[in-house]
Structure 1
Amino acid sequence: MAAPGAAGGPAADAALWAEVRALLPGCEEGLTLALSGEVEDCVLPLLRRARGLLYSAGRPRGEAAEALRRLGDVLRDYSWEKLNAGPWREVSKAWRQVYAYGCLFGALAEVAAGRPLPRAVRLCDLGLLMGAAVLDNALARLVRVLQPHLPRAERREAAAGSAEKPVVLEGIIDHWPCMKKWSVDYFCQVAGCRTVPVELGARYTDEEWSQKLMTVGDFIDRYIVNKNSLGYLAQHQLFDQIPELKEDIGIPDYCCLGEGEEDDITINAWFGPEGTISPLHQDPQQNFLAQVFGRKYIRLYSPQDSENLYPHESQILHNTSQVDVEDPDLDKFPNFRKAAFQSCILMPGQVLFIPVKYWHYVRSLDISFSVSFWWS
């Protein structure tokens, strides 16, 4: 069946809406809008108005669908402020439920209006990532209905599962002091005399790749300023070694969604010139990659495509692909062309969530500093 908004036509739209509508209670009173705590007085009338639009016309169309979409936007925007007002562990579940309802009403408005489905799927994913379950986990059930109706390429991108897919997060590190303070000159001042391990070479799979101890000042002079060759400061202990730098960052509150303790979170520093590459590989933990300055090109592949990515057979590199992602040898690795991917350019201030075992390839487009957080 073709996707609504493409070549499906009114009959396909109606069939999909009937399938989606069957996920909801049969009458307005059945959609209880139950919250697990108190919220501000203005919120419940907004929720009730959205519910009324959903049930009053059988299927919201035209102005009714647009009004439902706007109410979804208002609910998400209002609750988003509450979700980001303090540490994640202190966010009320009720406000997360309000956010989930905003995502649900917004997604339903998209389907009711017959619009292309990717935005509805994205709203479901945002609600699953940031909200709390409502109506017997309606968002998860809704996205399972929508996914088969997506165009094939977009369906492959969603195949890894609604809540286990990469997403770029905006605005969550804007308050970090490093966003205003850090620069190449700043690192020379704060850490220029400190000795750190440096990776020499464009990528760790190259035969000429090696590691060497040198001061941060020597690293910057050789590989950042004079660009004699490619070298990369990839450090797991940098922030413990130089506490002044650790004071300039924070741990994203989302890491508290995991099962481990804060002490179990690994913080990594990645500092290097334009052109350095992390070959296509996967990590055994969830990853938030925060970009402080510079830009990075990133390509991501689902774990479901692992057999098409030709991991090395050796135990040491079993988590790394043999394929040169941007110049693949398709005679040697023919199934690589079957692997679907997503890509982005990660900009300063953005954070990329990379789910556990998700394959990722990274190339620096500028002098770049990133901080990553590995957590379970």
Structure 2
Amino acid sequence: MAAAVGGEAPAAGPAAGGALWAEVWALLPGSEEELTLALSGEVDGCVRPLLRRARGLLYGAEGRPGGEAAAAALRRLGDVLRDYSWEKLNAGPWREVSKAWRQVYAYGCLFGALAEVAAGRPLAPAVRLCDMGLLMGASVLDNVLARLVRVLQQHLPREQRRGAAGLAAESARTEPRPAPAVRPEDAVPRLRCPSLEHFRDNYLIPQKPVVLEGIMDHWPCMRKWSVDYFCQVAGCRTVPVELGTRYTDEDWSQKLMTVGDFISQYIVNEKSVGYLAQHQLFDQIPELKEDISIPDYCCLGEGEEEHITINAWFGPEGTISPLHQDPQQNFLAQVFGRKYIRLYSPQDSENLYPHESQILHNTSQVDVEDPDLVKFPNFRKAEFQSCVLMPGQVLFIPVKYWHYVRSLDVSFSVSFWWS
């Protein structure tokens, strides 16, 4: 990796693909000085020299020969930076982790991924490093990891892009199971494309749930998304997966795996229940974000559009979100599959027996569809509304409204949290 001359990409070693390396190099600043290594806060004194040394190797400042030796040295520095910052990321509550340490971790992932490419090694580990940086790190160099992984993904062999599930994802399409009965007197009202004023006056201000129809028909995801499509677009991407039927179960856990492995194990083969539920998916895989739109009704809120949190919910039949409440208004948009949903007013909170612990204070102890009325006798007093949310429908869940969700099929939903 000799120094760049006249804006050209430095040599990447005899084993590296010249075209790929040139494409990767074009994502980086044109000179060593322009790669500023800026951090949003203080870190241990030994870290900045390590970052500068890695940058020097990348741009050839130490005079090392191009090829495997420089790539190996850069890879080792990436390992050191990730290992050192990983301890800081896991030393306490996530909200207390300094952004500077998350940036150090992102740089470690960046240098490690670049070293893999420069050495001409298989690209799957480099893709995983980018994803780890996007998940655990903080944005550096104008979100270079997101741009880098998009390039690398395009150069993976087709079978690696799809991941372990491959064409077997087609077998996940099964005949729909019967849905729970919804009594007319309990049904959430439905409206087709109400005006902003009508929605505001009749549902937002009085805080009443409603199912909106027709507002997402034009979203590209409605004609593009399927289990097989996710294999094509994101099969090789590493994401966090929740393992277990519901997050209140004792055996519930989380695991990092590729989307392809998740689909193969939990969607196609139904090994057990796992759920892809996270708010970073659309930032991590921008191709998916391009296929959805923020509902126009969010403009009635007080916050700016960039403050809207977009969450992805992808999982098999039988996955359950226990009865809980969220701190913001919520539009739950159903892309494919169906969900059975029950809603309870915040006024019924005492009858819903929230957990006493601070961690689960927003979650009910009651199993909604099989309640223990001896242990929770007042639950029978709580009035509810319910619906079976179908593809193309959007449920408005007012802030603090209790809701229980069970997937009736393989399902993908998108939720928008707004104030």
- The partner residue of 1:290 within 329, 333, 351 is 333
Q: Residues 352 and 252 of structure 1: is their aligned pair in 2 closer, same or farther, counting only changes over 3 Å? A: same
Cα distance in structure 1, aligned partners of 2:199 and 2:412: 34
The answer to whether structure 1 residue 210 and structure 2 residue 277 are counterparts is no
Q: Residues 161 and 269 of structure 1: is their aligned pair in 2 closer, same or farther, counting only changes over 3 Å? A: closer
The answer to whether structure 1 residue 311 and structure 2 residue 311 are counterparts is no
- The partner residue of 2:390 within 347, 351, 354 is 347
Please give the per-residue CA displacement for 1:304-323, whole angstroms capped at 9, x wherever unaligned: 00000000000000000000
Which residue does the alignment assign to 1:96? none
Deviation at 1:130, TM superposition (A): 3.0
Cα distance in structure 1, aligned partners of 2:394 and 2:199: 22
TM-score w.r.t. length of structure 2: 0.53
Which residue does the alignment assign to 2:230? 187
Which residue does the alignment assign to 2:242? 199
Cα distance in structure 2, aligned partners of 1:222 and 1:161: 40
Please give the per-residue CA displacement for 1:304-358, whole angstroms capped at 9, x wherever unaligned: 0000000000000000000000000000000000000000000000000000000
Which residue does the alignment assign to 1:324? 367
Please give the per-residue CA displacement for 1:25-60, whole angstroms capped at 9, x wherever unaligned: xxxxxxxxxxxxxxxxxxxxxxxxxxxxxxxxxxxx
Counterparts of 1:220-259 in structure 2, within 5 Å, are 220-259=263-302
Cα distance in structure 2, aligned partners of 1:310 and 1:350: 30
Q: Is the 8 A contact 1:291 1:349 kept in 2?
A: yes
Cα distance in structure 1, aligned partners of 2:194 and 2:235: 44
The answer to whether structure 1 residue 368 and structure 2 residue 411 are counterparts is yes
Secondary structure at 2:249 match in 1: coil
Cα distance in structure 1, aligned partners of 2:366 and 2:354: 8
- The partner residue of 1:262 within 298, 301, 305 is 305
Please give the per-residue CA displacement for 1:44-99, whole angstroms capped at 9, x wherever unaligned: xxxxxxxxxxxxxxxxxxxxxxxxxxxxxxxxxxxxxxxxxxxxxxxxxxxxxxxx
Deviation at 1:161, TM superposition (A): 9.1
Q: Is the 8 A contact 2:196 2:297 kept in 1?
A: no
Q: Residues 215 and 123 of structure 1: is their aligned pair in 2 closer, same or farther, counting only changes over 3 Å? A: closer
Structure 1 ranges of 4+ moved more than 6 A: 126-129
The answer to whether structure 1 residue 131 and structure 2 residue 174 are counterparts is no
Secondary structure at 1:131 match in 2: helix
Q: Residues 132 and 169 of structure 1: is their aligned pair in 2 closer, same or farther, counting only changes over 3 Å? A: closer
Q: Is the 8 A contact 1:129 1:163 kept in 2?
A: no
Q: Residues 127 and 291 of structure 1: is their aligned pair in 2 closer, same or farther, counting only changes over 3 Å? A: closer
Cα distance in structure 2, aligned partners of 1:128 and 1:282: 27
Point out the more displaced range, 162-171 or 234-243: 162-171
Cα distance in structure 2, aligned partners of 1:132 and 1:256: 12
Q: Equivalent pairs: percent with the same residue?
A: 85
Cα distance in structure 2, aligned partners of 1:131 and 1:282: 25
Superposed CA RMSD in Å reads 2.3
The one-letter code sitting in structure 2 at the alignment partner of 1:317 is L
Cα distance in structure 2, aligned partners of 1:350 and 1:175: 12
Cα distance in structure 2, aligned partners of 1:346 and 1:363: 10
The one-letter code sitting in structure 1 at the alignment partner of 2:275 is Y
Q: Is the 8 A contact 1:128 1:162 kept in 2?
A: no
Deviation at 1:131, TM superposition (A): 3.2
Q: Residues 171 and 214 of structure 1: is their aligned pair in 2 closer, same or farther, counting only changes over 3 Å? A: same
Secondary structure at 1:248 match in 2: coil
Q: Is the 8 A contact 2:190 2:210 kept in 1?
A: no
Secondary structure at 2:362 match in 1: coil
Q: Is the 8 A contact 1:202 1:275 kept in 2?
A: yes
Please give the per-residue CA displacement for 1:141-167, whole angstroms capped at 9, x wherever unaligned: xxxxxxxxxxxxxxxxxxx99731100
Cα distance in structure 2, aligned partners of 1:227 and 1:127: 39
Q: Is the 8 A contact 1:200 1:209 kept in 2?
A: yes
Which residue does the alignment assign to 1:56? none
Deviation at 1:129, TM superposition (A): 6.4
Which residue does the alignment assign to 1:170? 213
The one-letter code sitting in structure 2 at the alignment partner of 1:221 is S
Q: Is the 8 A contact 2:344 2:402 kept in 1?
A: yes
Cα distance in structure 2, aligned partners of 1:370 and 1:242: 16
Deviation at 1:235, TM superposition (A): 1.1
Q: Is the 8 A contact 2:190 2:211 kept in 1?
A: no
TM-score w.r.t. length of structure 1: 0.59
Q: Is the 8 A contact 2:190 2:213 kept in 1?
A: no
Deviation at 1:297, TM superposition (A): 0.1
Structure 2 unmatched runs, 5+:
1-184
Secondary structure at 1:240 match in 2: helix
Deviation at 1:123, TM superposition (A): 11
Q: Residues 221 and 129 of structure 1: is their aligned pair in 2 closer, same or farther, counting only changes over 3 Å? A: same
Structure 1 unmatched runs, 5+:
1-117, 134-138, 141-159
